């Protein structure tokens, strides 16, 4: 087979190039003038994210030619990818804001934070558009390596170091699973391109066993990244140990990007064997919801509780993925946006309550929060209610959408498990609201309002509320973004 060099049209990955370019610029400047960390770099990074978002928006309005996959079939720039890129860039923007505030307080404001965050973002957006397993793997590594370092960013805090090491070891482990899956997929299909695999698998006389093994390993690899049970062990420790803005960015961004790739791989490449893989997806989904919700009850640290909550939410998104119909895809996409908004918002509250570093993350610190700062208390309640799926919030609509898709796919049993899990989950969200609203505060001092987290909180709260009341604003564009072609 003659090797044809791909035509080098780089426009489709322009957002990633912008992100990586700005990241390298920050690294260079930081190396030259290390004292200038802090605020200036935050501004540069924020502008970089906005620039990338502008490029994506332009791509949205000027659709690519008929050929949806570019760069030799390596990258897809369909609306599905563009949509996820935008969501991820939104998470990154809030991550920059929260980080700038947090690092200023702890005095750890160094340029690398922004550079690493932008690299991770580039990895995530690339992951959302990857149309070939090799690119999926590359993107996963780009985002993971950056996040390993970011997790250990507070090098004076032992928990942060420990979390980083744990994340790295388990992450490397999951990469091995994923690579093995790629190898088996290549063995089964003779190609690593998602479309090619689908074509090969739907042909006659294919070895289903090999394809199933490949599919299973790929799903295991993704399950690590999106923190689905039983591959969730790293999550609570890492979410607790990492600096809060990193946790916020990671909890939202990694899950969104991981699911983007998971959805694309399962619906496109593994589409022909989706029926055989369904039991695995259903089992992982049910386990994730139940285990995440139940273990969250036992936590007495807010970040750990939110970590288990984020595990449980991975299970709910998987309900939509398992449904494997178009409603399921658009439902999962809606769910991910809602989830990103509410989890970022929740961690923003954690950051404001902690004031400096990780000082006040035990549940006790939330006693009487509503009296010490009514607005912050109300925002926390809003995010928690949304996480619990109580109307009129985005979390409720998101659940309705994925449940409806699953009912349509005949998965009523899974939906029943899901609603029961959400009742269990309501228990611990409510407990935090009880602390914030119904108990007397331990400290009487007012929790001060903060500018940068304030913006993040405002954006997240607006999304949580608006998407809960007028979900059509997002659902309408989703109708043509949820169509996956190859």
Partner 1 sequence: MTGGFPWLTVTVFLPLVGAVALLAAAPLPRRRPEAGGFAGEDPWRWLALLVSIATFVVSLGILTEFRAEPGFQLVEDLDWIGPLNIRYVLGVDGISLFMVLLTTFLMPLAILASWRVDRQVPYFMASLLALETAVLGAFVALDLLLFFVFFEGLLFPMYLVIGIWGSGRRVYAAVKFFLFTMAGSALLLVAILFLAFRAESALGQVTFDLRELVGMDLPAATARWLFLAFFLAFAVKVPLFPLHTWLPDAHTEAPTAGSVILAGVLLKIGAYGLIRFNLTLFPGASEDFRGLVITLAVIGIVYGAVVALIQTDIKRLVAYSSVSHLGFVVMGIFAGTLQGMSGGVIQMVNHGLSTGALFLLVGLLYDRTHTRDLDRLGGLARRTPVLAGFFLVVALSSLGLPGLNGFVGEFLILLGTFDASRLPAVIGATGVILSAIYLLWAYQRSMHGDLPSELESTPDLSVREYAFMVPIVLAIVAIGVFPKPLLDRIEPAADRHVRLIAVDPASADAVRATGGG
287 vs 426 by CB, closer to partner 1: 426
Please report how close the Cβ of residue 268 comes to partner 1 at its closest, in angstroms: 22
Cis peptide upstream of residue 157 (ω within 30 degrees of 0): no
Nearest CA among 138, 80, 130 for reference residue 269: 130
Q: What is the CA radius of gyration of the chain?
A: 21
Please report how close the Cβ of residue 383 comes to partner 1 at its closest, in angstroms: 13
343 vs 376 by CB, closer to partner 1: 376
Please report how close the Cβ of residue 437 comes to partner 1 at its closest, in angstroms: 6
**Residue corresponding to tokens 């109307």:** 391
Distance CA 365, CA 359 (A): 9
210 vs 475 by CB, closer to partner 1: 475
Tokens of 456: 């993040």
116 vs 349 by CB, closer to partner 1: 349
User: Under a CB-based contact definition with an 8 Å cutoff, are residues 316 and 399 in contact?
Assistant: yes
2 vs 410 by CB, closer to partner 1: 410
Distance CA 299, CA 138 (A): 35
Please report how close the Cβ of residue 421 comes to partner 1 at its closest, in angstroms: 9
Cis peptide upstream of residue 187 (ω within 30 degrees of 0): no
Please report how close the Cβ of residue 298 comes to partner 1 at its closest, in angstroms: 17
Distance CA 282, CA 320 (A): 10
Please report how close the Cβ of residue 328 comes to partner 1 at its closest, in angstroms: 12
40 vs 378 by CB, closer to partner 1: 378
Please report how close the Cβ of residue 393 comes to partner 1 at its closest, in angstroms: 10
Please report how close the Cβ of residue 376 comes to partner 1 at its closest, in angstroms: 12
Distance CA 420, CA 409 (A): 19
What is the end-to-end Cα distance of the chain in Å, rounded?
23
User: Under a CB-based contact definition with an 8 Å cutoff, are residues 276 and 254 in contact?
Assistant: no
Contacts of 146 (CB under 8 A, 6+ apart): 116, 117, 119, 120, 123
DSSP assignment of 197-261, as one string?
HHHHHHSTT--HHHHHHHHHHHHHHHHHHHT-TTS-THHHHHHHHS-HHHHHHHHHHHHHHHHHH
Residue 67 zone, left/alpha/beta (φ > 0; ψ -120 to 50; rest): beta
242 vs 338 by CB, closer to partner 1: 338
Cis peptide upstream of residue 230 (ω within 30 degrees of 0): yes
What 3-state class would DSSP assign to 62? coil
User: Under a CB-based contact definition with an 8 Å cutoff, are residues 118 and 92 in contact?
Assistant: yes
- Contacts to partner 1 by CB under 8 A: 327, 330, 371, 374-375, 378, 381, 385, 390-392, 396-397, 399-401, 403-404, 407-408, 412, 415-416, 419-420, 422-423, 426-427, 430-431, 434, 437-439, 471-472, 475-476, 479
84 vs 403 by CB, closer to partner 1: 403
Please report how close the Cβ of residue 317 comes to partner 1 at its closest, in angstroms: 17
CB atoms within 10 A of CB 175: 18
412 vs 442 by CB, closer to partner 1: 412
Q: How many helices (H) and strands (E) does the chain have?
A: 19, 2
314 vs 417 by CB, closer to partner 1: 417
Please report how close the Cβ of residue 269 comes to partner 1 at its closest, in angstroms: 26
């Amino acid at each position: 087979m003659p090797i044809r060099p791909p035509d080098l049209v780089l426009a489709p990955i322009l957002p990633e190039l912008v992100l990586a370019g700005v990241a390298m610029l920050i690294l260079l400047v930081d190396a030259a003038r290390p004292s200038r960390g802090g605020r200036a770099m935050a501004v540069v990074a924020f502008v970089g994210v906005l620039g990338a978002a502008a490029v994506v928006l332009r791509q949205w309005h000027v659709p690519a030619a008929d050929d949806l996959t570019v760069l030799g079939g390596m990258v897809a720039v369909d609306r599905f990818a563009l949509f996820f890129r935008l969501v991820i860039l939104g998470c990154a923007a809030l991550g920059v804001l929260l980080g700038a505030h947090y690092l200023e307080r702890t005095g750890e404001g160094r340029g690398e934070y922004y550079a690493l965050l932008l690299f991770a973002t580039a990895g995530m957006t690339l992951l959302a558009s990857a149309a070939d397993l090799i690119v999926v793997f590359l993107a996963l590594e780009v985002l993971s390596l950056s996040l390993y370092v970011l997790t250990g960013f507070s090098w004076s805090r032992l928990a942060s170091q420990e979390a980083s090491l744990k994340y790295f070891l388990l992450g490397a482990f999951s990469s091995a699973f994923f690579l093995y899956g790629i190898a088996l997929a290549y063995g089964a299909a003779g190609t690593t391109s998602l479309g090619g695999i689908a074509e090969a698998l739907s042909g006659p006389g294919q070895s289903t066993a090999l394809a199933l093994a490949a599919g299973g390993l790929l799903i295991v690899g993704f399950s690590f990244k999106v923190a689905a049970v039983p591959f969730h062990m790293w999550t609570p420790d890492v979410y607790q140990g990492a600096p809060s803005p990193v946790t916020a960015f990671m909890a939202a961004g990694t899950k969104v990007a991981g699911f983007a790739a998971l959805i694309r791989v399962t619906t496109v490449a593994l589409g022909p064997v989706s029926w055989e893989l369904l039991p695995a997806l259903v089992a992982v989904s049910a386990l994730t919801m139940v285990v995440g919700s139940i273990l969250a009850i036992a936590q007495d640290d807010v970040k750990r509780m939110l970590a288990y909550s984020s595990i449980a939410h991975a299970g709910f998104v998987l309900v939509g993925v398992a449904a494997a119909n178009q409603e399921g895809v658009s439902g999962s996409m809606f769910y991910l946006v809602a989830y990103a908004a509410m989890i970022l918002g929740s961690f923003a509250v954690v950051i404001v309550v902690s004031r400096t570093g990780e000082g006040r993350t035990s549940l006790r610190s939330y006693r009487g929060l509503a009296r010490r700062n009514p607005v912050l208390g109300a925002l926390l309640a809003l995010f928690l209610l949304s996480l619990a799926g109580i109307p009129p919030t985005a979390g409720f609509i998101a659940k309705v959408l994925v449940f409806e898709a699953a009912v349509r796919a005949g998965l009523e049993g899974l939906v029943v498990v899901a609603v029961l899990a959400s009742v269990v989950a309501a228990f611990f969200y409510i407990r935090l609201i009880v602390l914030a609203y119904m108990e007397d505060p331990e400290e009487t001092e007012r929790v001060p309002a903060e500018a940068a987290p304030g913006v993040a909180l405002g954006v997240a709260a607006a999304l949580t509320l608006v998407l809960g009341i007028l979900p059509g604003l997002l659902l309408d564009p989703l109708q043509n973004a949820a169509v996956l072609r190859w």
